[in-house]
A and B are shown apart, each in its own frame.
Chain A
């Protein structure tokens, strides 16, 4: 039975750096294995769609522009993603990867969270098509030609 048994801690921390930090001013880098934003490599993709089948949050859509010539664009909804890395496990051609960048997911609008991955010319082609199809609503089915 004693009083104030934490006195040692209390005095020591007077001369120690605080354990907390002033967050937006100071930031710590994410660890190496961090499951952050998904990264897609269109060259390796075979278009098997296994990643989509097991995605628990419907965060990825594969837009097949040309199946024979392997022209795919991956629409990735970062705001829906639960970062479980199941798609990475599922992918047999290791074209999906979780990067350890960007872990702050706050924005005023939703648009920045919709990311298109693919070869540059494919993405450009798709964007053009979306713009042409409808001015405004960018909803196109996943299996659009």
Chain B
């Protein structure tokens, strides 16, 4: 990967704090005029040490810890973990619980894709599309809140099942929401494929061939926009996906425009899926009892997050705490595509290119937690404060 930036070039740093990035990450683009000639990445600014922290918490506590890896796709993280733990513990989860998990996952996909649409539009300076798509995203946020009690961390999963049921009143509300969102989404599809100013910013930008996508290990919509049919929901159905099959949406374009199209078309598939799940919600229990200790073993749990394949590796030593949890988030796979594809594009295309893969920095950065004593931390802040005061008194 030849993305080393030469020292003497004119380098435009983007991040750690930059208006284009809603989360901290650091990119260096070396430019000649407006054209990018090299790119490199440095992560870790929001590294929270979750994988290490997991080793000192019990499985249930970890459920909520891992849910907080990401504020957008919180549910898939918890789902991946619970599915893995249930595999290790050999639990038979009731079908209704699996269906509700799947439903929440699909609703989350709607909210994530609409969020991405808004962010990407904003990066392209199309604030009106940004405002409207986020307004409509509020519909699904409100639905999630009324079902689960929280807009972001739905905490639907417990080990062995789910916490809450979908009653008729909520079923109707969800169906109404889908009925509202479907024509709106169709409208957005028209806008992103029809508006000339928008197409001028997306078509032919960040093109990635199928071979490149496969070589660089792209996942999720980024890969599917390059024609790679890769979707865990289809390849290795989990939860209730065996009962509710998904049609994979792909596009051959490979550029930014194709990524827009794929994500929006996936929304239609999701609406269909949500309706189908609601129509055929299996009756029964919501959860089975799980033991606190999980039998020793190693397992791999893969789920399809809105951004692509989410990979969990779990190792239990037979205690009530995990021995190792490895999380590989989809964003991490897609980084390589940015640094490779960036070269040769205009600087103005970088924010859109970055957001084109729907990056999630907090998903990337998890690992190390630093156990600082409370006092010492206060001291260092105090030192910093004093330094600041002295600096200004000069």
Contacts and interface: CB of A to CB of B under 8 A. Distances in A.
Q: Do chains A and B touch in the complex (CB under 8 A)?
A: yes
Contacts of A33: 146-149, 164
Contacts of A4: 195
Q: Which interface residue of A3, A56, A82, A85 has the most chain B CB atoms within 10 A?
A: A56
Contact of B155 (A2, A32, A57, A84): A84
A6 B64 contact: no
A86 B60 contact: yes
B191 A54 contact: no
Nearest to B132: A9
A89 B195 contact: no
Interface string A1-36: 111111001100000000100000000000111110
B128 A6 contact: yes
9 contacts: A1-B196, A1-B199, A9-B128, A9-B132, A31-B142, A56-B65, A85-B155, A86-B158, A89-B158
A6 B145 contact: no
A130 interface: no
Interface of A: 1-6, 9-10, 19, 31-35, 53-57, 82-86, 89, 98, 100
Interface string B36-78: 0000000000000000000001101111110110000000000
Contact of A82 (B145, B146, B153, B187): B153
> Per DSSP, are chain A's interface residues mostly helix, strand or loop, or mixed?
loop
A19 B139 CA distance: 11
Contact of A56 (B57, B129, B187): B57
Contacts of A10: 128
A8 to B, nearest CB: 8
Nearest to B170: A33
Contacts of B210: none
B163 interface: yes
Given A3-B195, A84-B64, A19 B138 contact: yes
B149 A86 contact: no
Interface string B144-167: 011111100101001000011000
Contacts of A1: 194, 196, 199
B190 interface: yes
Contacts of B153: 82-84
B195 A2 contact: yes
Query: What are the 4 tightest A-B residue pairs by CB atom distance, in nearest-first order?
Result: A35-B149, A56-B64, A56-B61, A31-B146
A57 B53 CA distance: 12
A34 B191 contact: no
Contacts of A35: 148-150, 155
A89 B163 contact: yes
Nearest to A10: B128
A85 B163 contact: yes
A38 to B, nearest CB: 12
Contacts of A9: 128, 132, 187
A105 to B, nearest CB: 13
Interface in B162-206: 163-164, 187, 190-191, 194-197, 199
B135 interface: yes
Contact of A55 (B61, B132, B148, B197): B61
Contact of B194 (A2, A54, A56): A2
A6 B129 contact: yes
B79 to A, nearest CB: 15
Contacts of B62: 56
Contacts of B64: 56-57, 82, 84, 86
Given A6-B129, A6-B132, A33-B164, A85 B149 contact: yes
